[in-house]
Structure 1
Amino acid sequence: MAFLLVGVVLLALKWGGVEPVAGLDWGWVAAPFGAAVLWWWWADWSGYTQRKAMEKEAARKAKREAKARRALRLPPSRV
């Protein structure tokens, strides 16, 4: 996401004619978009995206279980 934000900022500065970005080649301005594509490809290929989704779901489940245990006035889980 950071690559995408940098790319959008550079693109806006290039189109706005703000120096020193206005003097850069288009390849330098477009490079962050290419880096974002490479990052997303790698994240999907390596399983990073799925692993993060599973961690998020596990955290939501643990929070839900802890809330239920508090509502039932049970001691916290040891796991």
Structure 2
Amino acid sequence: MAFLLLGLALLALKFAEIGPVAQWSWWVVLAPFGLAVAWWAYADSTGLTQRRAIAKMDKRKAERRQRDMEALGLGIQRDKRTRRAPAASAASTRPATPRPAAAPSPAPAPPSRFEDEPVATRRDPEL
């Protein structure tokens, strides 16, 4: 883009015959346009243009997500504070003694004889 702007400025100065540019060769005045074409060809062939476009879209997506989260009241800053606050308060009030071992879990209930049947086909043995 800089080459294009430079070329336009030199072209305007050449046509208006302002300053030393009026005496320059047309090749010198038009050279920035050739450099702009060469730069665009290089940028497109190496994928630079595409990487910049993807980075710009990712940035816009992150900003949109942040804005939407804030609008919902689920802001990242608020979320970080709420996660840190209980941990910090628990750490400051917790005694230095080790935790007791966890209680063993109760044994699972025996399987029902009706577990394999769908609900609609179960029959009450009492009837």
Q: Pairwise mapping of residues 1-79 of structure 1 onto structure 2 (< 5 A)?
A: 1-76=1-76
- 1:27 match: secondary structure: helix
Aligned amino acid, residue 68 of structure 1: D
Give deviations 1:35-57, integer Å, cap 9, x for gaps.
00011101101101100110111
Aligned amino acid, residue 15 of structure 2: W
Could you tell me which runs of 5 or more consecutive residues in structure 2 were left unpaired when the two chains were aligned: 81-127
CA distance in 2, matches of 1:49, 1:11: 27
Higher-helix-fraction structure: 1
Deviates more, 1:65-74 or 1:5-14: 65-74
Aligned residues: 78
Give deviations 1:20-69, integer Å, cap 9, x for gaps.
00111111001100000011101101101100110111011101111121
RMSD: 1.6
Larger Rg: 2
Percent identity over paired residues: 50
Could you tell me which runs of 5 or more consecutive residues in structure 1 were left unpaired when the two chains were aligned: none
- TM-score w.r.t. the length of structure 2 is 0.57
- 1:57 match: secondary structure: helix
Distance 1:22 1:72, change over 3 A: same
CA distance in 2, matches of 1:67, 1:12: 44
- TM-score w.r.t. the length of structure 1 is 0.89
Deviation at 1:72, TM superposition (A): 2.0
Q: Is the 8 A contact 2:3 2:33 kept in 1?
A: yes
